[in-house]
Amino acid sequence: MLVSEQNIKNFQTAAGLKPDGDFGVKSEARGLELVTAENRLKAILAAHPDVDPVDTEATTVRTGSGELSAVKPFALSAGSVARLQGVHPDLVRVVRHLERVTTMPFAVVDGLRSRVQQEAMVAKGASKTMNSRHLTGHAVDMVPLTDDGKPSWSWTLIRSFTPLVKDAAKHCGVPIECGTDWTSFPDGAHYQLPWSAYK
Protein backbone atom coordinates (compact mmCIF):
# COMPACT_ATOMS: atom_id res chain seq x y z
CA MET A 1 0.00 0.00 0.00
CA LEU A 2 1.51 3.31 -1.03
CA VAL A 3 1.93 5.90 1.70
CA SER A 4 1.12 8.88 -0.47
CA GLU A 5 -1.49 11.51 -1.24
CA GLN A 6 -2.39 9.41 -4.30
CA ASN A 7 -3.12 6.49 -1.99
CA ILE A 8 -5.46 8.70 0.03
CA LYS A 9 -7.25 9.68 -3.20
CA ASN A 10 -7.53 5.99 -4.05
CA PHE A 11 -9.20 5.36 -0.69
CA GLN A 12 -11.66 8.16 -1.43
CA THR A 13 -12.48 6.69 -4.82
CA ALA A 14 -12.88 3.17 -3.41
CA ALA A 15 -15.17 4.48 -0.69
CA GLY A 16 -17.34 6.29 -3.23
CA LEU A 17 -16.36 9.70 -1.90
CA LYS A 18 -16.75 12.84 -3.94
CA PRO A 19 -13.58 14.88 -4.59
CA ASP A 20 -14.54 17.28 -1.80
CA GLY A 21 -14.61 14.36 0.67
CA ASP A 22 -18.39 14.14 1.09
CA PHE A 23 -20.01 10.73 1.11
CA GLY A 24 -21.32 9.52 -2.21
CA VAL A 25 -24.04 6.95 -2.74
CA LYS A 26 -22.00 3.89 -1.71
CA SER A 27 -22.19 2.15 1.65
CA GLU A 28 -21.70 4.55 4.55
CA ALA A 29 -20.19 1.75 6.60
CA ARG A 30 -17.59 0.93 3.94
CA GLY A 31 -16.90 4.62 3.56
CA LEU A 32 -16.28 5.01 7.29
CA GLU A 33 -13.87 2.07 7.28
CA LEU A 34 -11.85 3.50 4.43
CA VAL A 35 -11.96 7.06 5.75
CA THR A 36 -10.49 5.71 9.00
CA ALA A 37 -7.66 4.17 6.96
CA GLU A 38 -7.28 7.46 5.10
CA ASN A 39 -7.00 9.34 8.41
CA ARG A 40 -4.37 6.86 9.60
CA LEU A 41 -2.32 7.47 6.48
CA LYS A 42 -2.62 11.23 6.90
CA ALA A 43 -1.43 10.88 10.50
CA ILE A 44 1.62 8.92 9.34
CA LEU A 45 2.40 11.57 6.73
CA ALA A 46 2.01 14.37 9.30
CA ALA A 47 4.19 12.61 11.89
CA HIS A 48 6.88 11.75 9.35
CA PRO A 49 7.50 14.71 7.03
CA ASP A 50 10.49 12.89 5.52
CA VAL A 51 8.34 10.09 4.09
CA ASP A 52 9.15 9.08 0.55
CA PRO A 53 5.78 9.35 -1.26
CA VAL A 54 6.50 6.22 -3.33
CA ASP A 55 7.01 3.90 -0.39
CA THR A 56 5.72 0.36 -0.08
CA GLU A 57 3.82 -0.47 3.10
CA ALA A 58 1.53 1.74 5.15
CA THR A 59 3.53 0.68 8.21
CA THR A 60 6.91 1.51 6.66
CA VAL A 61 8.36 4.91 5.74
CA ARG A 62 11.58 5.96 4.06
CA THR A 63 13.61 8.54 5.98
CA GLY A 64 15.59 11.37 4.41
CA SER A 65 18.73 9.22 4.53
CA GLY A 66 17.00 6.51 2.53
CA GLU A 67 16.63 4.08 5.44
CA LEU A 68 13.36 2.22 5.89
CA SER A 69 11.82 2.83 9.28
CA ALA A 70 8.90 0.91 10.81
CA VAL A 71 5.91 2.97 11.88
CA LYS A 72 3.31 1.52 14.23
CA PRO A 73 0.15 3.43 13.35
CA PHE A 74 -1.92 1.68 16.02
CA ALA A 75 -1.24 -0.21 19.23
CA LEU A 76 -3.66 -1.48 21.85
CA SER A 77 -3.71 0.56 25.03
CA ALA A 78 -2.24 -0.88 28.22
CA GLY A 79 -5.79 -1.25 29.53
CA SER A 80 -6.84 -3.26 26.49
CA VAL A 81 -3.82 -5.53 26.80
CA ALA A 82 -4.53 -6.05 30.51
CA ARG A 83 -8.11 -7.11 29.68
CA LEU A 84 -6.70 -9.95 27.56
CA GLN A 85 -5.28 -11.61 30.70
CA GLY A 86 -6.98 -14.97 31.18
CA VAL A 87 -8.53 -14.94 27.69
CA HIS A 88 -8.06 -18.10 25.61
CA PRO A 89 -4.81 -17.94 23.60
CA ASP A 90 -6.57 -18.48 20.27
CA LEU A 91 -8.82 -15.49 20.86
CA VAL A 92 -5.86 -13.41 22.01
CA ARG A 93 -4.10 -14.38 18.78
CA VAL A 94 -7.04 -13.04 16.75
CA VAL A 95 -7.07 -9.77 18.69
CA ARG A 96 -3.32 -9.24 18.37
CA HIS A 97 -3.40 -10.02 14.64
CA LEU A 98 -6.22 -7.52 14.23
CA GLU A 99 -4.10 -4.97 16.09
CA ARG A 100 -1.31 -5.41 13.53
CA VAL A 101 -3.48 -5.11 10.43
CA THR A 102 -6.43 -2.96 11.47
CA THR A 103 -7.79 -0.11 9.40
CA MET A 104 -9.97 0.81 12.37
CA PRO A 105 -8.38 1.34 15.80
CA PHE A 106 -10.23 -0.41 18.61
CA ALA A 107 -10.30 -1.15 22.33
CA VAL A 108 -10.79 -4.33 24.30
CA VAL A 109 -13.40 -3.30 26.87
CA ASP A 110 -13.92 -6.66 28.59
CA GLY A 111 -12.40 -10.11 28.76
CA LEU A 112 -12.42 -12.74 31.50
CA ARG A 113 -15.12 -12.12 34.12
CA SER A 114 -15.68 -13.50 37.60
CA ARG A 115 -19.10 -14.83 38.58
CA VAL A 116 -19.66 -11.71 40.67
CA GLN A 117 -18.93 -9.49 37.66
CA GLN A 118 -21.24 -11.59 35.48
CA GLU A 119 -24.02 -11.39 38.06
CA ALA A 120 -23.68 -7.61 38.00
CA MET A 121 -23.88 -7.60 34.18
CA VAL A 122 -27.06 -9.69 34.27
CA ALA A 123 -28.57 -7.52 37.02
CA LYS A 124 -28.20 -4.37 34.94
CA GLY A 125 -29.41 -6.06 31.75
CA ALA A 126 -26.09 -5.95 29.92
CA SER A 127 -26.07 -9.76 29.71
CA LYS A 128 -28.83 -12.35 29.66
CA THR A 129 -27.01 -15.40 31.01
CA MET A 130 -24.91 -16.74 33.83
CA ASN A 131 -23.45 -19.19 31.32
CA SER A 132 -21.43 -16.51 29.52
CA ARG A 133 -18.28 -17.36 27.59
CA HIS A 134 -16.65 -14.47 29.49
CA LEU A 135 -16.61 -16.70 32.60
CA THR A 136 -14.14 -19.11 31.00
CA GLY A 137 -12.08 -16.62 28.97
CA HIS A 138 -13.66 -17.67 25.69
CA ALA A 139 -15.05 -14.19 24.90
CA VAL A 140 -13.95 -10.60 24.60
CA ASP A 141 -15.83 -7.38 24.10
CA MET A 142 -14.22 -4.99 21.61
CA VAL A 143 -15.39 -1.71 20.12
CA PRO A 144 -13.92 0.66 17.52
CA LEU A 145 -12.43 3.98 18.57
CA THR A 146 -13.62 7.37 17.43
CA ASP A 147 -11.21 9.83 15.82
CA ASP A 148 -10.44 11.25 19.27
CA GLY A 149 -9.58 7.79 20.64
CA LYS A 150 -12.79 7.15 22.60
CA PRO A 151 -14.58 3.77 22.56
CA SER A 152 -17.71 3.87 20.41
CA TRP A 153 -20.85 1.74 20.63
CA SER A 154 -22.22 3.28 17.43
CA TRP A 155 -23.81 0.50 15.37
CA THR A 156 -22.62 2.21 12.20
CA LEU A 157 -18.99 1.92 13.30
CA ILE A 158 -19.49 -1.54 14.81
CA ARG A 159 -20.91 -2.86 11.53
CA SER A 160 -17.73 -1.67 9.81
CA PHE A 161 -15.54 -3.16 12.54
CA THR A 162 -17.06 -6.67 12.76
CA PRO A 163 -15.95 -7.77 9.24
CA LEU A 164 -12.38 -6.83 10.21
CA VAL A 165 -12.60 -9.11 13.26
CA LYS A 166 -14.00 -11.93 11.10
CA ASP A 167 -11.16 -11.48 8.59
CA ALA A 168 -8.57 -11.60 11.40
CA ALA A 169 -10.13 -14.78 12.80
CA LYS A 170 -10.16 -16.37 9.35
CA HIS A 171 -6.50 -15.44 8.84
CA CYS A 172 -5.63 -17.08 12.18
CA GLY A 173 -7.73 -20.17 11.43
CA VAL A 174 -9.86 -19.53 14.52
CA PRO A 175 -13.67 -19.93 14.41
CA ILE A 176 -15.48 -17.00 15.96
CA GLU A 177 -19.04 -15.97 16.78
CA CYS A 178 -20.00 -12.31 16.68
CA GLY A 179 -22.73 -10.76 18.79
CA THR A 180 -23.70 -8.56 15.85
CA ASP A 181 -25.07 -11.72 14.17
CA TRP A 182 -27.38 -12.62 17.06
CA THR A 183 -31.06 -11.94 16.44
CA SER A 184 -32.57 -12.40 19.91
CA PHE A 185 -30.06 -10.24 21.80
CA PRO A 186 -27.64 -8.45 19.45
CA ASP A 187 -24.41 -7.55 21.24
CA GLY A 188 -22.25 -5.40 18.99
CA ALA A 189 -19.14 -5.58 21.17
CA HIS A 190 -19.14 -9.34 21.80
CA TYR A 191 -16.86 -11.89 20.09
CA GLN A 192 -16.56 -15.46 21.34
CA LEU A 193 -15.10 -18.86 20.55
CA PRO A 194 -17.99 -21.20 19.69
CA TRP A 195 -19.14 -23.87 22.15
CA SER A 196 -18.99 -26.45 19.36
CA ALA A 197 -15.23 -26.03 18.94
CA TYR A 198 -14.17 -24.95 22.46
CA LYS A 199 -15.67 -26.62 25.52
**Most distant CA pair in the chain: distance in Å?**
60
pLDDT at residue 127, as a whole number:
83
pLDDT at residue 35, as a whole number:
55
Instruction: Give the span between the Cα atoms of 108 and 145, in whole angstroms.
Output: 10
pLDDT at residue 69, as a whole number:
47
Which of the four pLDDT bands, split at 50, 70 and 90, describes residue 62? very low
pLDDT at residue 57, as a whole number:
41
Q: Report the 10 Å Cβ neighbour count for 28.
A: 16
Q: What is the pLDDT of residues 15-39, one digit of tens each?
A: 555 444 444 444 444 455 555 555 6
Instruction: Give the span between the Cα atoms of 63 and 168, in whole angstroms.
Output: 30
**Into which CATH architecture does domain 78-192 fall?**
2-Layer Sandwich (3.30)
Q: What is the pLDDT of residues 83-114, one digit of tens each?
A: 999 999 999 999 999 998 887 899 999 999 99
Q: What is the pLDDT of residues 111-126, one digit of tens each?
A: 999 999 999 988 998 8
Higher-pLDDT residue of 73, 49 = 73
Q: Give the residue-averaged pLDDT of 187-199.
A: 94
Q: Where are the domains of the chain?
A: 5-70, 78-192
Which of the four pLDDT bands, split at 50, 70 and 90, describes residue 13? low
Which of the four pLDDT bands, split at 50, 70 and 90, describes residue 64? low
Q: Do the beta carbons of residue 143 and residue 106 sit within 8 Å?
A: yes
Q: Do the beta carbons of residue 174 and residue 93 sit within 8 Å?
A: yes
